[in-house]
């Protein structure tokens, strides 16, 4: 069985930070996941790469010999990721505008859905009313905005997302007519 890149990555960060817990934080994983990856790596290699010392980890001689290879693999993985990013249509900074009502009801889901397929995308969010957002869009201060009544310059493409019904409502004691 061959070691996986995930196992090598966990090994690299444990060796660098001298802690399973710190490696878990660095990789945004749980500590048990890091431990499982190390167990899998050691099973694949047939030898121990760390000696557990209390809550820390001390690299073994075999682990020290493995470390330059792990560093090279991490560098290669980073190069592959950077090369892929060149072809990723959504990377870098996206200046996005939304009215408060849209931001409160939809933005968390939208940003979460964007993060998974486009991890290199950074969103700078502006929350304001539609009139201000339209002006910012027309002045090219925003890349994209969710607005009502899109009166925009010819270079801005409009995509209708839907429509909303609005109504005036009030309590019966106001005596409003039908």
Edge-to-edge strand list for the sheet holding 92-98:
121-127, 92-98, 144-145
User: pTM value?
Assistant: 0.52
Residue 53 lies in a domain: yes
| Parallel/antiparallel/unpaired status of strands 121-127 and 92-98 | parallel
Q: What pLDDT digit, counting tens, does each position of 120-157 carry?
A: 788 899 999 999 999 998 888 999 999 888 888 888 88
pLDDT at 178: 65
Assess whether 38 and 18 both reside in one domain: yes
Residue 162 lies in a domain: no
CA distance 139 to 135: 6
Residue 160 lies in a domain: no
* Domain range enclosing 120: 92-145
Q: How many domains does the chain have?
A: 2
């Amino acid at each position: 069985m061959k070691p996986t890149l995930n196992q090598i990555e966990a090994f690299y960060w444990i060796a660098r930070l001298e802690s399973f817990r710190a490696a878990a934080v660095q990789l945004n994983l749980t500590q048990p996941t890091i431990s499982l990856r190390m167990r899998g790596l050691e099973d694949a290699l047939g030898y121990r790469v760390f000696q557990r010392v209390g809550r820390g980890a001390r690299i073994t001689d075999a682990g020290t010999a493995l470390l330059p290879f792990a560093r090279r693999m991490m560098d290669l993985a980073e190069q592959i990721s950077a090369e892929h990013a060149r072809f990723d249509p959504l990377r870098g900074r996206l200046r996005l505008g939304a009215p408060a009502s849209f931001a409160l009801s939809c933005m968390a889901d939208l940003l979460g859905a964007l993060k998974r397929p486009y991890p290199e995308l950074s969103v700078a969010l502006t929350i304001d009313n539609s009139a201000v957002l339209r002006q910012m869009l027309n002045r090219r201060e925003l890349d994209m905005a969710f607005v009502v009544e899109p009166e925009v310059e010819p270079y801005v493409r409009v995509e209708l997302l839907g429509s909303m019904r609005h109504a005036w409502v009030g309590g019966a004691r106001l005596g409003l007519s039908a």
